Structure 1
Amino acid sequence: MQHPQLQQLTEMVKQAAVNEVRSRFQQTDSRKKLDGTLITAADLGCQQWLTDALKQAWPDIPLLGEEMTPAQHDQLLDNSDSGLWVLDPLDGTANFAAGFPHFSVSLALVQSGQVVQGVVYDPMRDECFSAEQGEGAWLNGARLELSPSETVLEECIAVVDFKRLSPTLATALAVEPPFRSQRSLGSVALDWCWMAAARGQIYHHGGQSLWDYAAGRLIFAEAGGTFSAPEVKVSLGKQPAVAAVSKQLHHLWRTWLERMDRSDD
């Protein structure tokens, strides 16, 4: 059963997503940030809504939001031992701006470099994924548990984002994929959650930010998934991710990726 704080967080995230994100879908314009990514009134409105709500409920825990400066990010993460909220107010902004109904709000609680609670809400499907470290993961209150799989790579649906992969690996995945079919849906937080719900069996992403993966990766791990990343603790640098719904598949998938990525050395 979810702890009371996690239940309170899920309600906060859902209310913010409905009020500030879903209500603006196909109703607002986007603009480019300095890094070339998009931002909308929904990003800013949701971040402000949750900043205010979290500060009222837990005034001693600061918040690190995607729409802050790098200097603010560094300062907050350096002082996170006593607790830090990590928020992506709209994960999948490009989808949102294009009218593609696949995006989410992601909130995680970090303590001493570890994610201890996470909530990811998809306002278009009314699907709320949540997890608590060591306690399990849930989808709309029902426990998520991945079963040990004997599936071979050839039978898998792969969730793969090609943007930050090496040309060698991207070509191999496109020309001679080891899996049945591939998806790339544009919301890292939902990638992890859909993997936790066994909607894909193997996963690869070339580089994702802390606010993208913090909550979703905890949900996937608590559901029983296996992943590898260069750092177990959260960090501000972009992290690649390799994951699978079972240890066996993870080993096969990671071995294939490593072999193909160095095939032209």
Structure 2
Amino acid sequence: MRHWKIDTVLQLLKDAGGIALAASADPGIELKSDQTVVTRADRAIEQMFADRFDRPSEGSFMIGEESVATKPESYLDDAFRSLCYVIDPIDGTAPYSAHVPLWGVSIGRMENGALTEGAIYMPIDDEALFTCRGELFSARALQSGAPVVEPFQPRHMALTPAGHICIPQQGAKRWRFDLPNQVFAWSTCVGCYYALLKGRILAYILSCKLWDLAGGLPIARAAGFVNRFADGRELDLAITASGNFHLEPGPMRWRLKAPVVAAPDRETAEYVWSHIRQE
């Protein structure tokens, strides 16, 4: 797919969500070599995306969570030098497999190693958020076949001790938090970005891989939200040039080099960072 067309993206999200919803009663759970969960639905959705995006002869490449390990280095080099779609077929496979409605579908469009567009879809809520040429949109009722598309106005939760904060599994297992706010480890980047942009949580701490955030990060950036490292740097959309990801072969490949706090503003991000003790 050479061009980011709203109708096409929404149809792909609808189809992906439909596959996941149809398989949710018996998803077929397996453990991958890294001890994370995968289901038949993950693989079926990724194959559907590959049929559309993985077309090197047409100058279109795909980095997907379930298939990237099969790609040769030459393919990945070409993907980062041209047009590439970064896919997470079900972000939040653990909650999906446990019938917890905190999972979604993620599509990130990357050109010359930088994210340019993003889309996330929450099939249970049946709502997608996405960018298009610098503008923000939402689309509701995708499964009906006649989605309602309109400009999206993000909501900012006020900075108070009542605001909930989502944390990564790494944080739940190894960090200390000396703040009064409730914290949740939802195991879904898409679900957390969605909740943040809808004003349902105060902040989200990311410690994830490229495909987890590829759909949500462009939306958060377009919405004016900050995505800050502990040293105050901003996580921008440049993937290859920034040096913020492990892109070289090895066990850490595709992962952020350091955690990031996504929040409505700098004050909130600094508040969160000031109350974290990483161990």
**Is 1:106 aligned to residue 123 of structure 2?**
no
The answer as to whether partners of 1:115 and 1:133 remain within 8 angstroms in 2 is: no
Question: CA 1:165/1:133 → structure 2, altered by over 3 Å: closer, same or farther?
Answer: farther
From the two aligned structures, give the one with the greater helix fraction.
1
Where do 1:1-265 residues align within 5 Å?
Answer: 5-18=5-18, 20-54=19-53, 59-70=58-69, 72=71, 75-79=74-78, 80-132=80-132, 134-140=134-140, 141-146=149-154, 151-164=158-171, 167=174, 170-171=175-176, 173=177, 176-179=178-181, 181-205=182-206, 207-229=207-229, 232=236, 233-234=238-239, 235=245, 236=247, 237-239=254-256, 240-257=259-276, 260-261=277-278
1:256 to partner: Cα distance: 3.4
The answer as to whether partners of 1:129 and 1:137 remain within 8 angstroms in 2 is: yes
1:28 to partner: Cα distance: 2.8
1:67 to partner: Cα distance: 0.9
- Looking at structure 2, the residues matched to 245 and 96 of structure 1 have their Cα atoms a distance apart, in angstroms, of 27
1:145 to partner: Cα distance: 3.2
AA paired with 1:36?
Q
Question: CA 1:209/1:4 → structure 2, altered by over 3 Å: closer, same or farther?
Answer: closer
Where 2:170 maps in the other structure, the secondary structure is coil
Gaps of 5+ in 1: none
- For residues 64-98 of structure 1, the C-alpha deviation after alignment (integer angstroms, 9 at most, x for no partner) is 11112446275444322321011111111111222
Where 1:43 maps in the other structure, the secondary structure is helix
AA paired with 1:177?
L
Q: Over aligned residues, Cα RMSD in angstroms?
A: 2.7
Where 1:89 maps in the other structure, the secondary structure is strand
- Looking at structure 2, the residues matched to 11 and 148 of structure 1 have their Cα atoms a distance apart, in angstroms, of 29
- Looking at structure 2, the residues matched to 121 and 77 of structure 1 have their Cα atoms a distance apart, in angstroms, of 26
Question: CA 1:72/1:222 → structure 2, altered by over 3 Å: closer, same or farther?
Answer: same
1:106 to partner: Cα distance: 0.8
1:119 to partner: Cα distance: 1.4
1:136 to partner: Cα distance: 2.9
The answer as to whether partners of 2:122 and 2:128 remain within 8 angstroms in 1 is: yes
Q: Which residue matches 2:145? A: none
- Looking at structure 2, the residues matched to 248 and 64 of structure 1 have their Cα atoms a distance apart, in angstroms, of 34
AA paired with 1:97?
S
TM-score, normalised relative to structure 2: 0.78
Question: CA 1:244/1:139 → structure 2, altered by over 3 Å: closer, same or farther?
Answer: farther
AA paired with 1:98?
A
Question: CA 1:191/1:77 → structure 2, altered by over 3 Å: closer, same or farther?
Answer: farther
Question: CA 1:4/1:208 → structure 2, altered by over 3 Å: closer, same or farther?
Answer: closer
The answer as to whether partners of 2:155 and 2:197 remain within 8 angstroms in 1 is: no
